[in-house]
Amino acid sequence: MKTIRFGVIGAGLMAREFASAAARWCHLLEMPARPEIVAVCARNPASSDWFRENFPSIGQVTTDYRVLLANKEVDAVYVAVPHHLHEEIYCAAIRAGKHLMGEKPFGIDLAANKAILGCMAENPGVFVRCSSQFPFFPAMQRLGAMIDDRAFGRILEVNTGFLHSSDLDPGKPINWKRQIAFNGAYGVMGDLGMHACHVPIRAGWRPRNVRAILSNIVHERPDGHGGMAPCETWDNATLLCETEDPSNGERFPWTLKTQRIAPGQKDTWYAEVYGTAASARWSSAGPNVIKVLKYDGGDQAFRAVQMGYNPAFKTITGGIFEFGFTDAILQMWAAFVYELATGKAPSAFAGCATPDDTAQSHKLFTAALESACNASTVALG
């Protein structure tokens, strides 16, 4: 099996999730390649300790990402840093010839996203994808297969979202996600939006216009030094989009919600697709069940389908068992490595979010900012 040597830039939570997935690679079956972590970069040296303690393959630890990118032993990098650093570090990685998995939103704003994609165009030999775990739950694979099979008939309505309550406590100290200089003007849309956009964009559904309501709910938070700091970014966002299905030219409403302050929600993704022939809905609050309605002229009833452990990429786990978040992380990374090694994804919904997908989300979020500012419906062109 081919080994792809990875460097990690940014040693936070999601970097540790990737490392854990790499350590469990034997859980996957029939993979053409495997990742091996050989280098770590973190501005705080202490953040690298966990990696060194658990991965003897690591031969380089640095606080300077340029040093890591100059390492000829590194084939690919995972970059998980605040949004204001995306353009600088992603472009540097691409120019260094390192295959890249980047975090969303893939640039702090539309201009940064365009710069990253422009850099890719100048370096076509580099494989680049964006992190998003949403489609890799078996229930979402089932929903994606229904989209591919056009099982829904004419689409009537789509609802997707990512809701959590991590900022519900007003006494929670401020972090970089509440500051425009680091997170960007998108606020919660930049932080969570790609997760909610991934499946509709991958389905080919294109928003033609958007009406957005954005809310800054907690205006200041403890600064960690005995004072208070202003919260500059949006906590919650609701976007209503008139969206077109390119298969038939018909339009339908797509409502997208991203919320950091959602009472009663722990960390919930959801997707609902309603059509004339079938409908389906799923929530990560009940991750192993998808509810499906097929309309045949008789009684209408949603059937709860227990998906079990039936992911896109085969594993040693039997289908009778259940699937969770860390499994979705492993599947996402399997998709990245599989496509890097073979040149194609097994199916549209078994592939990672592409840079073009992120460009679509940036256009939507930029229009949403204008919509909220002017209380108007904004065309996306």
Domain membership of residue 78 (yes or no) is yes
Residue 381 pLDDT > 80, yes or no? Answer: no
pLDDT band at residue 342, thresholds of 50, 70 and 90? very high
Last residue of a domain, one of 107, 130, 153: 130
pLDDT of amino acid 297: 86
Q: Which residues contact 215 (CB under 8 A, 6 or more apart)?
A: 234, 235, 236, 237
Q: How many helices (H) and strands (E) does the chain have?
A: 10, 17
246 in a structural domain: yes
Look at the chain and report how many structural domains it folds into: 2
**Domain check: are 162 and 284 in the same one?**
yes
For the stretch 312-326, pLDDT in tens is 999 999 999 999 999
Q: Tell me the whole-structure pTM to 2 decimals.
A: 0.96
* 25 occurs within a structural domain: yes
Give the distance from CA 43 to its chain's centroid.
Answer: 24
pLDDT digit string, tens, across residues 129-141: 999 999 999 999 9
Q: Are 39 and 62 in contact (CB under 8 A)?
A: yes
Question: Cβ distance 243 to 206 under 8 Å?
Answer: yes
325 within domain boundaries: no
Same domain, 249 and 306: yes
- Asked which of 130, 146, 169 is the last residue of a domain, the reply is 130
Q: Is the pLDDT of residue 14 over 80?
A: yes
What percent of the chain has a predicted confidence (pLDDT) above 90? 98
**Domain-located, residue 122:** yes
pLDDT bin (cut points 50, 70, 90) of residue 308 is very high
> Residue 254 forms beta bridges with which residues?
158, 241
Average pLDDT, the chain: 97
Residues 287-293 have a mean pLDDT of 97
Are 159 and 197 contained in the same domain?
yes
Tokens representing residue 152 in the block: 């829904």
State the average pLDDT over residues 212-228.
96
CATH number reported for the structural domain that contains residue 29 in this entry: 3.40.50.720
Mean pLDDT of 185-199: 96
Residue 298 clears pLDDT 90, i.e. is over it: no
Domain boundary (67, 97, 130) is at 130
pLDDT value at residue 1: 86
Q: What's the pLDDT at 53? A: 95
Average pLDDT over residues 344-360: 97
The mean pLDDT value for 209-238 works out to 96
Whether 322 is in a domain gets the answer no
- Tell how strand 206-215 and strand 378-379 pair up: antiparallel
Establish if 367 belongs to a structural domain.
yes
For 82-123, what is each residue's pLDDT tens digit? 999 999 999 999 999 999 999 999 999 999 999 999 999 999
pLDDT > 70: what percent of the chain?
100
**179/116 same-domain check:** no
103 and 144 assigned to the same domain: no
pLDDT at 233 over 90: yes
Q: Is 178 part of any domain?
A: yes
What pLDDT is attached to residue 251? 98
Average the pLDDT over 276-302 and give the result: 95
Range of the domain at 165: 135-313+355-379
User: Which domain CATH number covers 299?
Assistant: 3.30.360.10
Average pLDDT over residues 281-302: 94
Over residues 254-269, mean pLDDT: 96
pLDDT band at 160 (very low <50, low <70, confident <90, very high): very high
How long, in residues, is the chain?
381
